Structure 1
Amino acid sequence: MTMVDGSQADELREAMIGELREMGAVRSDRVAEVFRAVPRHLFTPEASLKDAYDPRDAVHVKRDDQGRPISTVSSPQLQGSMLEQADIRPGMTALEIGSGGVNAAMMSWLAGLDGQVTTMDIDSDVTERARRLLDAAGYERVNVVLSDAENGFSQDAPYERIIVTVGAWDIPPAWIDQLAPDGRLVVPLRMRGLTRSLELEREGDHLASRSAIICGFVAMQGAGANAGQVVPLRGTKAEMRFDDGWPGDQVPDLDGVLDTERAEAWTGVTIGGMESFETLQLWLATAFPGFGKLRADADQRSVLVGDGNMWFDSAAIDGDSIAYLTTRRMEPGVSEFGAHAFGPHAAELAEAMAEQVLVWDREQRHGPGPNFGVWPLNTPDERLPEGLVITKRHHRVTISWPTAPTAATGQDNQEDRQGE
C-alpha cells in the first residue's frame, strides 16, 4: 500500500469513527480506539477504501448459487453497537461465532495480550480467509476454528463473552453451557421474523436482556439453520413467511387472497423520515398471533398500495384475511401510519391493526421497549412473564412489555406453540 493510500485510509477511518459516534453506534473511547487501531481495509480486500470505511454498509464476501450473501463483513455501525453491548475487557476469554476476520481482530485488541479470542465458522472458505487476513494484519493469536457452531467450542471455554455475528433462530444449549457464570452473550436472535442483537446475561435459570438493537445478518447454516414456513398469497409472487412456524394446527389456505378488494384504515399517527419505529414492529408481533413477514415481487406493488404509499413487511394473518403495515405521505418528511388488508374480513382486520398502532403510539412509542428472556424449554407457563412466548427448538423466548398488549382481534394473546 502506498503512502497516499495509507493517508486516505486514515482520513476515511477518522471520518467513519466520527459518524459512528454521531449515530450512537460508538459510545465509549475504547470502542472508538479499537476502530482506530485495527485497519479495517486489510480485512476487506474485495472493497474499495471508501466502501471499506462506509459506516453503514457491510462488505459481501461470499454468495450462494442464487447470488444471495452467505458471508459478509458486518457494517461498522453494527460492529460498533455489538462491541459496545459486549464490553470486552482486558484479560477476557471471548468466542466469536461467524468469522470475518476484522471483528475477531477488534475483539482480540480489546481483550489484550492477557486475553484470548476464538472465532469459528462452518465454511472452510470463510475460516481460511479469516486466518490469512488475521495473520497478515498481525493478529496471529486469534484462534480460528472450522466447525458447526451448534456445539460451540469447549476447548477454550468458559467464555466471559460470546458474540454471534450470524443470524440465529435459536440459542443452542452449548452456548449457554460454555458461558462463564457472570458472562455475557450478544446474539442477533430472530423472533417472528424480526432480528434484534440481544445483550443477554444470566438471571437465575434463564437469560435476560440488558439491551436490544435492531440488526440484520445472513442466516445461520448447519444444525442451527431454520427454513421457516411459507403461506402463499398469490402463488410465488407474494407470500407470508413464519420463522417460528404457523402458530396453530392448520396452516391457512390464502393463495389468491390478494385478488380480493383491498381495505384501508388510517390512524392519524405520523412519523418523520429519519425516525425509527422498530418497537412498532415488535408490538405488532406481540399483539397478533398470526404475525409474520410479507414478501412480494416488485410487480405486486400496485396491488399492495396506491401511488405515494409505502408498504412494510410487518403483516398478520387472522383466519381468512391478511393485513400489513403501510404509510402515506402527508407532507415533506412526514408520513401517516395505516393498515391495508385483503380477504373476507379485510375491513375488520385493517381496523384491528390500525388500533394497535394507536395503542403503541399511546403506550410504548417513547418507552424503553420490551424485555427479552431466553428460558429452558421445560419452563412452565406460570413462570413466564406476560407477553409473547415463542417456543423454539431449544428454548422458550419471551417478549414482555411494561404494559401488556391487548389482543388485536379480541382473542387472548396466545402462545406460539408450533416450534420445529
Structure 2
Amino acid sequence: MTTVRDSSVGDAASLRSAMVGELRGEAITSEAVTAAFTAVPRHLFAVGEPLRAAYEANRALVIKRTTDGEAISSLSAAHIQAVMLEQAAVEPGMRVLEVGSGGYNAALLQELVGPSGKVVSVDIDPEIVERARGCLAEAGYDRVEVVLADAENGVPHGAPYDRIVVTAGAWDIPPAWVEQLAPAGRIVVPLRLKGLTRSIAFDRTSSGLQSSSYRLCGFVPMQGDGAGTEQRVPLSDGADLWVEGEAGFDIEALREAVRSAQLERWSGAAFDLPDELELFLMTSAPGVVLLRASTEAAEQGLFALSATRGVPALISGGSFAYRIKRPNEATGGFESGVLAYGPEAEDVAARYVDLLRRWASDHRRRGAARIQYIPRTPATTTTTGSSRSSGLIVKRHGVVEVAWQ
C-alpha cells in the first residue's frame, strides 16, 4: 500500500526478504502478516543502525535509555512482533490501538487494516512520539495517528477498538483498555505474571477477558501510572527473590537457609518445554516466587545454574526449593529435580517434586493453560486472597486466574 523509499533499495529488499523467509512457519503463519512484513521497510525505523542489523529477525534495537543505561524504549525483535500480530488476527477495516510507539509495528498494523481501517499509537514519551511520527512519515505511513499520552487511560477519542496491541511489559490491564475495547475485541498484551512475561491474546467476555493463546516474550516495562509494583527482596549476596506486593515470608530465616546444606532430589520426570513448565510452577502452588542468582553465586556453589536464568522457588516457612535438571536418556534427554534448603528441606523438596511429576504427566504440552483476567469489583476483592495463592495473581485493577487443562 506504500511506496518504499529505501536507501540501498536492492540490499534492503534482499535483507527484508531473507528476514521474512526466516520468520515464515515459526513466527509468521498467515499470508496477511507475510505481506505486511514484506512491504514495510524496517530499516527506516532503525535510525542509526547498520542495515543488516535492522533485518536480524531475533534482534531488538534499543531506541532510548535512561541516564543509568537502562533501556526504556526499543524496536522489538521482528520475531516477537510477528508472533503478536498473528495472535492479534487483525483484519482489514479494523480500528487498532497500539500501546507503545516505535513506528515500525504501527506501520505493520496499517498494512493489516488497509485503507479502510485506522491505527492509533500512543506513548508517554514526547521524544519517542516525535521519532515515531518522523519515521512513519519517511516510510509513507502518515495515516497512523501517534498520540502523546499515558496509555493507562487509553485513547478515548478513537474508541471502540477492535484490537489493542501492547508493545511494552504491562503489570496490569487498566480499566480504560477494557472499556475502549469493542464487544468482540481482542487485547494482545505482554503481561507480567509473578516475574514472568507472556504475550497473551485476550478475548472480551461477559465477565472480563479470556485467553486464546499465550507466548513467551520480553519487553521494556510500562511507564507512567501503569508501572509495576514488583519488588526485589535480597536473599543473599548475588541472589534475590522477585515478589509482587508484600513479601509475607520470613526473609531472615530464608537467608539463614541459604547457608545450610543443600538437599538434592530427582523426580524421574522429563524436563522440556521450560517456558511452559515455568509458568505451571509459578501458578500451581501457593508460596512460589521467582529466584534469580548471579553467575558468581552459582560459581561459588551457593546456587545451581538454573537460578542464574530465573527459576520458580517454592517457599515454606524458613525453607525453600527450586528446580534443577540433569541428563537422563530414560526421560527423553533431561530429568527435572530439586535443590532444597533449610530445616523443612525434605518437605518442601517433596512438594516441589510432586509439582514436577504433575507437570510431566498431565500438562506437558504447549497451550495447556487458560488465563482469565477478571476486572476488580467488591466480589473479586473479597474472594481472591493473597497474590501468592495457587493460580490467582492479584493486580491493582483485577485478578489473573490461571487454570491448567
Q: Same fold (TM over 0.5)?
A: yes
State whether residues 46 and 61 of structure 1, in contact with CA within 8 Å, keep that contact through their aligned partners in structure 2.
no
State whether residues 53 and 59 of structure 2, in contact with CA within 8 Å, keep that contact through their aligned partners in structure 1.
yes
For 1:36 and 1:181, locate their aligned partners in 2 and report how far apart those are by CA, in whole Å.
Answer: 32
Could you say which residue in structure 2 is the equivalent of 1:416? Answer: none
User: Residues 325, 101 of structure 1: CA spacing in aligned structure 2 closer, same or farther, 3 A cutoff?
Assistant: same
Q: In the alignment, residue 163 of structure 1 is paired with which amino acid?
A: V
1:316 Cα shift?
Answer: 2.3
For structure 1, which segment, 288-297 or 1-10, has the greater mean C-alpha deviation from structure 2 after superposition? 1-10
For structure 1, which segment, 84-93 or 61-70, has the greater mean C-alpha deviation from structure 2 after superposition? 61-70
State whether residues 70 and 219 of structure 1, in contact with CA within 8 Å, keep that contact through their aligned partners in structure 2.
yes
1:126 Cα shift?
Answer: 1.1
For 1:311 and 1:126, locate their aligned partners in 2 and report how far apart those are by CA, in whole Å.
Answer: 31
1:94-149 CA-to-partner distances (Å, cap 9, x unmatched) read 11001111000111111111111111111112111111111111111111111111
Q: In the alignment, residue 91 of structure 1 is paired with which amino acid?
A: G
User: Residues 118, 105 of structure 1: CA spacing in aligned structure 2 closer, same or farther, 3 A cutoff?
Assistant: same
User: Residues 57, 344 of structure 1: CA spacing in aligned structure 2 closer, same or farther, 3 A cutoff?
Assistant: same
SS in 2 for 1:255: helix
Q: In the alignment, residue 326 of structure 2 is paired with which amino acid?
A: R
Could you say which residue in structure 1 is the equivalent of 2:182? Answer: 180
For 1:292 and 1:144, locate their aligned partners in 2 and report how far apart those are by CA, in whole Å.
Answer: 38
Alignment pair present for 1:218 and 2:215: no
Alignment pair present for 1:243 and 2:224: no
For 2:390 and 2:259, locate their aligned partners in 1 and report how far apart those are by CA, in whole Å.
Answer: 34
Could you say which residue in structure 1 is the equivalent of 2:370? Answer: 371
State whether residues 293 and 315 of structure 1, in contact with CA within 8 Å, keep that contact through their aligned partners in structure 2.
yes
For 1:367 and 1:162, locate their aligned partners in 2 and report how far apart those are by CA, in whole Å.
Answer: 24
Give the TM-score, by structure 1 length. Answer: 0.87
What is the CA RMSD across the aligned residues, in angstroms?
A: 2.5
For 2:306 and 2:180, locate their aligned partners in 1 and report how far apart those are by CA, in whole Å.
Answer: 51
Q: In the alignment, residue 292 of structure 2 is paired with which amino acid?
A: R
SS in 1 for 2:320: strand
For 1:176 and 1:263, locate their aligned partners in 2 and report how far apart those are by CA, in whole Å.
Answer: 47
Structure 2 unaligned blocks of 5 or more: none
Instruction: State the identity %.
Output: 41
Query: Aligned pair count?
Result: 393
User: Residues 141, 326 of structure 1: CA spacing in aligned structure 2 closer, same or farther, 3 A cutoff?
Assistant: same
Q: In the alignment, residue 319 of structure 2 is paired with which amino acid?
A: S
State whether residues 276 and 365 of structure 2, in contact with CA within 8 Å, keep that contact through their aligned partners in structure 1.
no
1:324 Cα shift?
Answer: 1.5
SS in 1 for 2:212: strand
Could you say which residue in structure 2 is the equivalent of 1:262? Answer: 262
State whether residues 250 and 317 of structure 2, in contact with CA within 8 Å, keep that contact through their aligned partners in structure 1.
no
For 2:75 and 2:339, locate their aligned partners in 1 and report how far apart those are by CA, in whole Å.
Answer: 37
State whether residues 64 and 71 of structure 2, in contact with CA within 8 Å, keep that contact through their aligned partners in structure 1.
yes
State whether residues 166 and 188 of structure 1, in contact with CA within 8 Å, keep that contact through their aligned partners in structure 2.
yes
Task: Report matched runs for 1:12-411 at 5 Å.
Answer: 12-22=15-25, 24-235=26-237, 237-246=238-247, 248=248, 252-253=251-252, 254-271=254-271, 276-302=273-299, 303-305=301-303, 312-330=310-328, 334-366=333-365, 368-378=367-377, 380=379, 388-402=391-405
SS in 1 for 2:58: coil
Could you say which residue in structure 2 is the equivalent of 1:418? Answer: none
1:382-405 CA-to-partner distances (Å, cap 9, x unmatched) read 999x96122211011100112xxx
1:11 Cα shift?
Answer: 2.0
For structure 1, which segment, 131-140 or 44-53, has the greater mean C-alpha deviation from structure 2 after superposition? 44-53
For 1:310 and 1:138, locate their aligned partners in 2 and report how far apart those are by CA, in whole Å.
Answer: 44
State whether residues 371 and 400 of structure 1, in contact with CA within 8 Å, keep that contact through their aligned partners in structure 2.
yes
SS in 1 for 2:8: helix
User: Residues 224, 77 of structure 1: CA spacing in aligned structure 2 closer, same or farther, 3 A cutoff?
Assistant: same
SS in 1 for 2:225: helix
For structure 1, which segment, 1-10 or 344-353, has the greater mean C-alpha deviation from structure 2 after superposition? 1-10
1:311 Cα shift?
Answer: 6.4
Give the TM-score, by structure 2 length. Answer: 0.90
Structure 1 unaligned blocks of 5 or more: 403-420
For 2:198 and 2:222, locate their aligned partners in 1 and report how far apart those are by CA, in whole Å.
Answer: 15
1:14-34 CA-to-partner distances (Å, cap 9, x unmatched) read 221122123x21000110110
State whether residues 311 and 324 of structure 1, in contact with CA within 8 Å, keep that contact through their aligned partners in structure 2.
no
User: Residues 245, 5 of structure 1: CA spacing in aligned structure 2 closer, same or farther, 3 A cutoff?
Assistant: farther
1:46 Cα shift?
Answer: 3.3
For structure 1, which segment, 363-372 or 120-129, has the greater mean C-alpha deviation from structure 2 after superposition? 363-372
Q: In the alignment, residue 371 of structure 2 is paired with which amino acid?
A: F
For 2:364 and 2:246, locate their aligned partners in 1 and report how far apart those are by CA, in whole Å.
Answer: 28
